[in-house]
């Protein structure tokens, strides 16, 4: 199948990754996917799969869930080796992958049922139609969970899926694909390997009817612009954040310090919902800062394959180099200086230390997503100043408010253009049982998490004139 657009720079036909936590480990070679065969297979499967009764589609998902459960330990090990994510976190990711299928089946039964309005002039139905082949572009930081959540929603709603993982997590994604694909009719689940050019070509192909993309603002904005004239395509964007935690004068400072340190250091800060900014009321700044420095000391780089490791590696040399550049920024005062750790437990990898900087003014630190365990600390005079500092970035994904006051929480939440707001919880506390989506530069309001299935279909109304059908 030929697309009606020009490709970007050519990609290699194959590649292999080294483990970012142990560069002596070279993983198996991955071959780039030629798009025409899976696109043809998905197009061929679309009509049959959309007309497969919902209980049969959900039965296929349940079969996939059983396969994922059986492979839980192996998948978690693969995530840890290939991305440097600590094994404890990787096991949690696979648990979320397994649980997502149960939640999606429940959502399908809730949102996909036919409605029969009682206030229309004629007998009527409102039903949900599958959109057609869907492209899911998954990130490296949650190589299975984030893409999987969209994929199973599309599948439950009757859409074939073309799942393109990050090339930095291609091996564990291949294992995932081998589990998923046999659970569905031919052409319904397709694994597509490749880089940015492959992803763009896939999304822009005229046979793709819906897209879920998780990644950078730059790529997300480019996709939105290129798809703007194709009204029949739906695009869901999750584009990251510069997430803040607000510590009020009445906060439980111990709780706040522990939660914020955790939200900054999970997955080595490589989470779209990681805390990277702290806005603290001046009355408690000294006490809180002392407690935060103590909490950050818990996160020391270690072998990702050990269950006790609290801080794994960054994903790549480029990520480590960017971190190294950021910690030399002199626009603020470093309260905890960052450091590159080239060797941990005898293993060479992309390891770094958490860092804390007071009042940075450069855009690279204070405005841009760092995707590393670097925290910015700002001191606020009062609640209005806290709100002003919070709104200085263009993002709107997650915010945590640390206060004992329900009124403060509600009043502040009313003023924040953020998709997910938490009281006395880490910004990373994003359960699959709730919607999850960003506003402004963090996304286009198409939530992941619970309820994503609402965006996997189109609405069709049927109206029957009286005595016109027999």
Q: How far apart are CA 138 and CA 159, in angstroms?
A: 17
Residue 301 phi/psi, 5° resolution?
Answer: -60, 140
Give the burial class of 308: count Cβ atoms within 10 A of its Cβ; 0-12 exposed, 13-18 middle, 19 or more buried. exposed
Q: Around 224, how many Cα atoms within 13 Å sit in the side-chain half-sphere?
A: 17
| Residue 393 phi, psi dihedral angles, 5° rounding | -105, 160
Non-local CB neighbours of 99 within 8 Å, separated by 6+ positions: 432
CA 427 to chain centroid, in Å, comes to 13
- Of the candidates 372, 137, 306, which has an alpha carbon nearest to the alpha carbon of residue 236? 137
Residue 436 · residue 239 · CB < 8 Å: no
* Residue 150 CB neighbour total at 10 angstroms: 31
Structure tokens at 127: 């039903």
Can 89 be counted among the known catalytic residues? no
Q: Which residues pair with 435 in a beta bridge?
A: 449
Vertex 44: Cα angle to 43 and 47 (nearest 5): 85
Tokens, residue 174: 């291949």
Which one from 238, 265, 369, 370 is the annotated catalytic residue?
238
238 is catalytic: yes
| Sequence-ordered list of residues with C-beta below 8 angstroms from that of 12, at least 6 positions apart, any chain | 32
Q: Count the Cβ atoms, other than its own, within 10 Å of residue 247.
A: 27
SS3 276: strand
User: Among 183, 272, 369, 370, which one carries the catalytic annotation?
Assistant: 272
Q: Which residues are catalytic?
A: 238, 272
């Amino acid at each position: 199948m030929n697309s009606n657009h020009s490709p970007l720079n050519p990609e290699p036909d194959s590649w292999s990754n080294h483990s970012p936590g142990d560069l002596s480990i070279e993983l198996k070679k991955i071959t780039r996917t030629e798009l025409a065969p899976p696109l043809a297979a998905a197009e061929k499967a679309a009509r049959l799969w959309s007309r497969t009764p919902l209980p049969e589609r959900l039965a296929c998902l349940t079969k996939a869930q059983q396969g994922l459960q059986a492979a839980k330990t192996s998948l978690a090990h693969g995530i840890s080796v290939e991305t440097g994510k600590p094994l404890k976190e990787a096991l949690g990711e696979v648990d979320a992958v397994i649980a997502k299928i149960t939640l999606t089946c429940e959502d399908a039964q809730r949102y996909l049922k036919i409605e029969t309005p009682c206030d229309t002039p004629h007998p009527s139905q409102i039903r949900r139609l599958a959109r057609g082949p869907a492209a899911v572009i998954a990130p490296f930081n949650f190589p299975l969970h984030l893409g999987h959540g969209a994929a199973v929603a599309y599948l439950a709603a009757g859409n074939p899926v073309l799942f393109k993982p990050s090339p930095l997590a291609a091996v564990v994604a291949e294992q995932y694909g081998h589990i998923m694909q046999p659970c569905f009719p031919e052409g319904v689940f397709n694994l597509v390997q490749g880089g940015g050019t492959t992803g763009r070509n896939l999304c822009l192909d005229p046979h793709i009817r819906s897209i879920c993309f998780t990644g950078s603002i730059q790529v997300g904005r480019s996709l939105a612009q290129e798809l703007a004239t194709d009204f029949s395509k739906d695009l869901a964007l999750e584009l990251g954040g510069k997430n803040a935690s607000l510590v009020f004068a009445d906060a439980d400072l111990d709780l706040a310090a522990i939660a914020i340190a955790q939200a900054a250091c999970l997955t080595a800060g490589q989470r779209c919902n990681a805390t990277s900014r702290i806005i603290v009321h001046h009355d408690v700044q000294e006490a809180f800062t002392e407690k935060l420095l103590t909490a950050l000391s818990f996160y020391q780089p270690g072998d990702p394959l050990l269950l006790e490791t609290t801080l794994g590696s960054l994903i790549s040399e480029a990520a480590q180099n960017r971190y190294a550049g950021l910690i030399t920024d002199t626009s603020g005062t470093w309260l905890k200086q960052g450091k590159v750790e080239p060797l941990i437990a005898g293993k060479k990898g992309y390891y770094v230390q958490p860092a804390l900087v007071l009042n940075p003014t450069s855009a690279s630190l204070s405005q841009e997503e760092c995707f590393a365990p670097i925290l910015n600390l700002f001191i606020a005079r009062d609640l209005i100043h806290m709100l002003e500092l919070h709104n200085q970035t263009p993002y709107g994904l997650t915010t945590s408010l640390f206060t004992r006051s329900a009124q403060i929480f509600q009043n502040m939440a009313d003023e924040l253009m953020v998709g997910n707001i938490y009281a006395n919880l880490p910004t990373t506390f994003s359960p699959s049982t709730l919607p999850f989506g960003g506003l402004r530069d963090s996304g286009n309001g198409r939530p992941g998490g619970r309820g994503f299935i609402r965006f996997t279909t189109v609405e069709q109304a049927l109206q029957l004139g009286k005595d016109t059908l027999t």
